[in-house]
Structure 1
Amino acid sequence: MEIKEGTVVAMDYSLKDDAGVVIDQSQPGQPLTYLHGHRNIIPGLESALEGKIKGDSVEVRVEPSEGYGEFNPSLEQVVPRERFQGVEDLQVGMQFQANTDQGPVSVRITKVEGEDVTVDGNHPLAGKHLNFAVTIQDVREAKPEELAHGHVHQGGGCCGGEGEGEGGCGCSCEH
């Protein structure tokens, strides 16, 4: 069966940056499983897997615009240390939820200098090329409830749950 919209794909993968450093990878015997065509993985990888079948291996270089987006300098901001009430030891890499006019945004600390703290709302992989090595382990038709919910259901319900009540799948997704 070919990978197309509405199929469930199980894949082993390795993700490296341009220097060849492994950023992420699936664990042996634990492939990443996703519902194809429902924006469950980055667009550039999803489109590259279209039409592949079980057993296919592919290497894909994803452009930033098809991955986590271009780096947006306006999402970097220097804020006073006092904004982090209750946190005594601010460290580079710490993540926080910031409330903005556009709603909550996840930010991470990139620099601490005296009373100035630089935060960045960009995804850590924004602006970077993503180099995937993928092997397709399985492809199957999605179940009607998976299509309705927009994600894979595992076990007896989604997220490994056993289901709850009429039409429930046992997870916190909205139905």
Structure 2
Amino acid sequence: MQISPNKVVHIHYTLTDNDGEVLDSSQGSDPMAYIHGMGNIISGLEEALTGRKVGDRFQVSVPPEEAYGVRDNDLVQKVPKSAFHGVDEVLPGMQFHAESSEGMQLVTVIEVEGDTVMLDGNHPMAGMTLNFDVEVTGIRNATPEELDHGHVHGAGGHHEHD
């Protein structure tokens, strides 16, 4: 069976930046599972997986445009510290969800100076080339329920809670 739309795909992967630093890995845990063709993973990795079979191992370098996008300096902005109601201390590296014109957005505190906080709304991996070492460990047809929900149920995927 080949990887194609509406297949549940299980992969082991290690993600590194261009300096070889490991950013994420499934090693030591269950393989990651996703439904191919539903936009569950970055487009550059999904494209590289198309047509692959169980047992295939490969490396792919995904440019920012096919990963988390290029950095947008318009997403860096100063806000008053008073905007952080109920937060005792705002520190660089902290992340918050903020309402934007495009819905909820994750923002990262990059600097605190006096009563002003500098926020970055870019994805933490925006502007980065992402290097994946991938092994395909399983492929199966997605169930109608998984296709309806848009995600994998069970091992490596989403667990429903009653």
TM-score range, shorter chain: over 0.9
Structure 1 portions without partners, runs of 5+? 162-169
- Residue aligned with 1:104, SS: strand
- Residue aligned with 2:28, SS: coil
Do residues 153 (structure 1) and 153 (structure 2) align? Answer: yes
Aligned length: 161
- Residue aligned with 1:126, SS: coil
Match of 2:35 in 1: 35
- Residue aligned with 1:125, SS: coil
Superposition deviation, residue 86 in structure 1: 2.2
Structure 2 portions without partners, runs of 5+? none
Separation (CA, whole Å) in 2 of partners of 1:41 and 1:101 = 24
- Compute the TM-score of the two structures, normalised by the length of structure 2: 0.92
Structure 1 stretch 8-17 or stretch 21-30: which is displaced more?
21-30
Q: Percent identity?
A: 45
Separation (CA, whole Å) in 2 of partners of 1:101 and 1:35 = 29
Match of 1:121 in 2: 121
Superposition deviation, residue 66 in structure 1: 0.5
Match of 2:137 in 1: 137
Do residues 106 (structure 1) and 112 (structure 2) align? Answer: no
Separation (CA, whole Å) in 1 of partners of 2:153 and 2:55 = 22
Separation (CA, whole Å) in 1 of partners of 2:77 and 2:144 = 45
Aligned residue type for 2:138: D
Superposition deviation, residue 33 in structure 1: 0.6
Match of 1:78 in 2: 78
Superposition deviation, residue 29 in structure 1: 4.6
- Residue aligned with 2:136, SS: strand
